[in-house]
Amino acid sequence: MTEIQGTCDDAFAPVRDTFAAAFDRGEERGASVVVTVDGRPVVDLWGGVATDDGDPWERDTIVNVWSTTKTMAALCVLMLADRGEVDLHAPVATYWPDFAAAGKEGVTVAQVMSHTAGLSGFAPAITPEDLYDWDGVVKGLAAQEPWWEPGSRSGYHAITQGYLQGEIVRQVTGRSIGTFFREEVAEPLGADVHIGLPASEDGRVADLVPPPGGGMEALAQADTDSIAVRTFLSCPLDTTETRTRAWRAAEIPAAGGTANARGVARVHSALACGGEVDGVRLLSEAGVERILEEQSETDDLVLGLKVRFGMGFGLMNESIPLSPSPRSFFWGGYGGSLAVTDLDRRMTVTYVMNKMSTGLAGDLRGASLVFAAYGALG
């Protein structure tokens, strides 16, 4: 039986029990879960094994969280919008003139935020090593034609979204998105989340265990021209790439963040509390409410299910009914990491792990923890 460490308010014992049960069933290797209410952690638990060598998952263990990073990148753009430096409904080319090429002069920031910009993959295809050349990637995206009519429907921008958002941030502020996030969000909050990880932190990073069946790598065997396959084959990623220093150091804002549940929860708790936690304000209350502005609800061309996107986050619908509250939002990462924020209950539930499942849209481990937290609230 895996020893579960940390703290848990008695009222939230169902979360602890659900977390422990996943280890007992062999579904986990190492993981952490945090629940906050009114900005205060009521659950902060971790357990299991972090590395192939058997090192334990510690309180400060961090891991690549894949697309949960997207919530941090979206927040950076929302902060600039809240300050009046970016108009979310203005064309991207307003801030990044080169982006107007190839028929993209009308593509808006909001369309980038909601995966409807038509740029879900790279054309021509690139390699993982190419991701480490920021200027090269954004130059290619600026020159690229959309794969479908922008704004007409969503197609999950698995890797490209972060570069699009990050270049908007860089054009407006003169800072990379990793630097902006660190200086404006992570450091003020004391949040252990990194878009671009210093080498000094490598010793804390857990080894990701690839999903059974090869995950996205298995798409290399697919014989189809679907948008989904084109998207993932436009930069084929082996999950072991996340173990390299090059990946960890790079700013890959849609997929390369390194964090634990506590760090992600710290950032999201500010959103849950109207934009401010412990005297650190990231957004005005109106700025937080913008997240709930529906941008699209279509059968997503990449994910293959109906997804409802707000401004930079997923919103609840019948396909992904994680929360009973219409004033809640979420996103998660390839393999299972998850972050849910409920404005009505001022609650966040965050889950991070290193044993990946095959799902691109999460799995029951994280969802079960969310349901347990809601059950504890009654």
Q: What pLDDT is stored for residue 1 in this prediction?
A: 84
| 157/114 Cα distance (integer angstroms) | 9
Token pair 């660190």 is found at 182
How many structural domains does the chain have? 1
Inter-residue contact 113 to 165 (CB < 8 Å): yes
pLDDT tens digits, 248-267 = 999 999 999 999 999 999 99
Q: What pLDDT is stored for residue 267 in this prediction?
A: 98
The answer for residues whose C-beta is within 8 angstroms of residue 338's C-beta and 6 or more apart is 68, 330, 331, 332, 349, 350, 351, 362, 366, 367, 369, 370
pLDDT tens digits, 61-83 = 999 999 999 999 999 999 999 99
Position 187 pLDDT exceeds 70: yes
* Chain center to CA of 271: 15
Asked whether residue 39 is domain-assigned, the answer is yes
Catalytic residues: 67
Per-residue tokens: 176: 């990379």
Q: What pLDDT is stored for residue 358 in this prediction?
A: 82
Per-residue tokens: 245: 């220093």
Q: What pLDDT is stored for residue 218 in this prediction?
A: 52
Question: Is the entire prediction scored with pTM above 0.85?
Answer: yes
| 263/34 Cα distance (integer angstroms) | 9
| 247/63 Cα distance (integer angstroms) | 12
Asked whether residue 98 is domain-assigned, the answer is no
| 336/352 Cα distance (integer angstroms) | 7
Asked whether residue 83 is domain-assigned, the answer is no
Q: Read off the pLDDT band of 290 (50, 70, 90).
A: very high
Closest by CA to 167, choosing from 68, 77, 106, is 77
The answer for residues whose C-beta is within 8 angstroms of residue 198's C-beta and 6 or more apart is 249
Q: What value does the mean pLDDT of the chain take?
A: 95
Asked whether residue 187 is domain-assigned, the answer is yes
SS3 (DSSP) at 157: coil
Position 222 pLDDT exceeds 90: no
Q: What pLDDT is stored for residue 361 in this prediction?
A: 64
φ, ψ for residue 17, nearest 5 deg: -65, -40
The answer for residues whose C-beta is within 8 angstroms of residue 345's C-beta and 6 or more apart is 37, 272, 325, 377
Asked whether residue 79 is domain-assigned, the answer is no
**258-259/40-48 β-pairing:** unpaired
Instruction: Kindly state the average pLDDT of the residues 199-223.
Output: 77
Asked whether residue 114 is domain-assigned, the answer is no
**Could you tell me the CATH number of the domain that includes residue 54?**
3.40.710.10
Q: Read off the pLDDT band of 179 (50, 70, 90).
A: very high
**Domain coverage including residue 59:** 4-72+180-377
pLDDT tens digits, 130-141 = 999 999 999 999
Position 217 pLDDT exceeds 80: no
Tally Cβ neighbours within 10 Å of residue 294: 12
Q: What pLDDT is stored for residue 363 in this prediction?
A: 85
CA torsion sign for 129, 131, 132, 134 is positive
pLDDT tens digits, 82-127 = 999 999 999 999 999 999 999 999 999 999 999 999 999 999 999 9
Q: What pLDDT is stored for residue 212 in this prediction?
A: 86
Higher pLDDT, 224 or 377: 377
Q: What pLDDT is stored for residue 22 in this prediction?
A: 98
Asked whether residue 125 is domain-assigned, the answer is no
Per-residue tokens: 218: 């298995």
Asked whether residue 130 is domain-assigned, the answer is no
